[in-house]
Structure 1
Amino acid sequence: MYGGLARFVVKPGKLDEFLEVVRWSSRIARDEEPGTLRLDVWQVDGEPDIVYGYECYTDRDAFEAHIKNAAVRRFGEVMDDLVEGWTMVIPFTNSTASNADLQ
């Protein structure tokens, strides 16, 4: 498994538009990327305009395929309009353990 966790600071008034783009990109990944296992987004009470995004792939090759798709390119194009900044909470890396590995 290969994945990472990012924290996005969304510009005031842009949260709905940001989430719309994320949901659209997630649907494309679900429908067209068999190696993309998860694209999850969380919001935490008390952290307005903060969005956490978790991505998980079968391996690094699946991640590389994901970042080349049109949806990710589109996401990159709108980031400056929607996001004040972002950081990697957990940099992309191979997992040490996962319940998905216990099959």
Structure 2
Amino acid sequence: MSKFVVIAEFAVVPEHKQEFLDVCVYDHERSTADEPGCRQFDVIVSDEAPDAVILYEVYDDKAAFDAHLKTPHFEVFMEAVKKFGVTTTVVRTLARHHP
């Protein structure tokens, strides 16, 4: 069975990067603990692009991701995006082919 994959990339204002990362970690913790359809949720940073934060998320299917978008922890995440001036660079949704 293929999995629904979301790769979301954000540009973060440097002075708010740690605060935004803290919220991303909170979203990760709640998603993996509270959402049975969330299989993986990674928070990724790069030395090559210090203002970038990438979320790599794997769900059972699109319905599981849609349920994620309605959770209280996602609402906290979206509030942080606005509060800290985070820009959404790109959001990709894909089907994992293997494994």
TM-score after normalising by structure 2 = 0.88
Amino acid at match of 1:58: D
Distance 1:98 1:17 in 2: 34
Aligned 8 A contact 1:4 1:88 in 2? no
1:71 paired to 2:70:
no
Aligned length: 97
Unpaired stretches in structure 1, ≥5 consecutive residues: none
Aligned 8 A contact 2:28 2:43 in 1? no
Q: Alignment RMSD, CA only?
A: 1.4
Distance 1:52 1:93 in 2: 15
Distance 1:84 1:64 in 2: 22
Aligned 8 A contact 1:40 1:54 in 2? yes
Unpaired stretches in structure 2, ≥5 consecutive residues: none
Poorly superposed stretches of 4+, deviation over 6 Å: none
TM-score after normalising by structure 1 = 0.85
